[in-house]
């Protein structure tokens, strides 16, 4: 048997793994074929053998992270699996700051790519098992997908804006104090929820949003048969 070439010995999976590491450390600007070859201690030809360009590399890195987030243990109720997928995606976007803009690009520009179909299929299969009419599957699934990525993306953006040197609890405490000092005639709602905003948990709040959507699906005649 002929010995494998260096390009063949370097797996596509290892290239994507290294790309994710670079993206996590330095963002999209930090991912170049030069930095990737340095990290992998190889030549560019070995990488081009598997990945033709940076766009394809970003797509592959996004798909890899999303596939892990969508990999939930089967056997629970559809609702439990939807919660698990939602939380998995929420945490993936939180851990990987570059992921949210890449998802936005793929969801809008590449509906036939690998990521968008997997996300809709992963959530849609569970939605279809809730007992709702087939005519409501797309709308219900879209509502969940848009909520998950909107809420998770905003949470990740908030963390980036605050920066590593800002204490989240102190920031929320100051914001809640400011709300409590607003004019009660003009801002009665903000004053009423200020204490809750001060002490809220991001993940618990996120899951509450999923619960509200699931309750809406059930209330629209989509509750699963017992």
Q: What is the SS3 assignment for the chain? A: CCCCCHHHHCCHHHHHHHHHHHHHHHCHHHCCHHHHHHHHCCCHHHHHCCCCCHHHHHHHHHHHHHHHHHCCCCCCCHHHHHHHHHHHHHHHHHHCCCHHHHHHHHHHHCCCCCHHHHHHHHHHHHHHCCCCCHHHHHHHHHHHHHHHHHHHHHHHHHHHHHCCCCCHHHHHHHHHHHHHCCCCCCCHHHHHHHHHHHHCCHHHHHHHHHHHHHHHHHHHHHCCCC
Long-range contacts of range 106-114, CB-CB < 8 Å, 24 or more positions apart?
106/59, 106/62, 107/149, 110/59, 113/59, 114/59, 114/63
The number of distinct structural domains making up the chain is 1
Q: Give the mean pLDDT of 137-159.
A: 89
Q: Choose between 76 and 20: higher pLDDT.
A: 20
- Of 86 and 158, the structure prediction assigns the larger pLDDT to 86
Asked whether residue 114 carries a pLDDT value surpassing 80, the answer given is: no
Cα–Cα distance measured from residue 179 to residue 34, given in angstroms and rounded to the nearest whole number: 49
Work out the pLDDT band at 155, boundaries 50, 70, 90.
Answer: confident
User: What crossing angle do the helices spanning 137-162 and 168-180 adopt, rounded to 10°?
Assistant: 100
CA distance linking residue 199 with residue 72, whole number of Å: 29
Residue-level pLDDT at 173: 87
157 and 100 Cβ atoms separated by less than 8 Å: yes
CA nearest neighbour of 82 among 117, 34, 125: 125
Least confident of 73-87, 118-132, 166-180: 166-180
Q: Return the pLDDT at 166.
A: 62
Residue 112 has pLDDT above 80, yes or no: no
Position 104 scores a pLDDT of: 84
CATH of the domain at 213: 1.10.357.10
pLDDT for the residue 7: 45
Specify the range with the lowest mean pLDDT, choosing from 66-80, 100-114, 191-205: 100-114
pLDDT for the residue 163: 58
pLDDT digits 0-9 by tens, 39-96:
999 988 889 899 999 999 999 999 999 999 999 888 889 999 999 999 999 999 999 9
Residue 17, both tokens: 């793994």
Round to whole Å and give the CA distance between 102 and 34: 21
Which of residues 197 and 139 earns the better pLDDT score? Answer: 139
Residue 139 counted as domain residue: yes
Task: Check residue 174 and give its pLDDT.
Answer: 87
Please indicate, yes or no, if residue 197 is contained in any of the structural domains. yes
Domain hosting 98: range is 73-222
Average pLDDT over the chain, rounded to an integer: 86
Indicate whether 225 pLDDT > 60.
Answer: no
């Amino acid at each position: 048997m002929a010995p494998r070439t260096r390009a063949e010995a370097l797996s596509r999976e290892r290239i994507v793994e290294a790309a994710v590491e670079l993206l996590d450390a330095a963002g999209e600007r930090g991912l170049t074929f030069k930095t990737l070859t340095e990290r992998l201690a190889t030549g560019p030809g070995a990488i081009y053998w598997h990945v033709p360009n940076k766009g394809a590399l970003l797509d592959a890195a996004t798909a890899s992270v999303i596939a892990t987030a969508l990999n939930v243990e089967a056997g629970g109720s559809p609702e439990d699996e939807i919660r698990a997928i939602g939380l998995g995606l929420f945490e993936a976007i939180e851990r990987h700051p570059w992921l949210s803009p890449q998802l936005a690009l793929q969801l809008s520009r590449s509906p036939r790519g690998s990521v968008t179909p997997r996300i809709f299929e992963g959530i849609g299969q569970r939605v279809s098992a809730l007992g709702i009419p087939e005519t409501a599957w797309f709308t219900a699934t879209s509502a969940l997908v848009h909520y998950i990525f909107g809420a998770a993306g905003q949470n990740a953006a908030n963390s980036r804006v605050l920066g590593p040197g800002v204490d989240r609890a102190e920031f929320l405490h100051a914001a809640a104090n400011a709300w409590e000092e607003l004019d009660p005639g003009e801002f009665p709602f903000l004053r009423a929820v200020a204490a809750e905003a001060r002490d809220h948990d991001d993940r618990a709040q996120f899951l509450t949003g999923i619960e509200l959507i699931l309750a809406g699906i059930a209330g629209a005649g989509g509750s699963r048969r017992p």
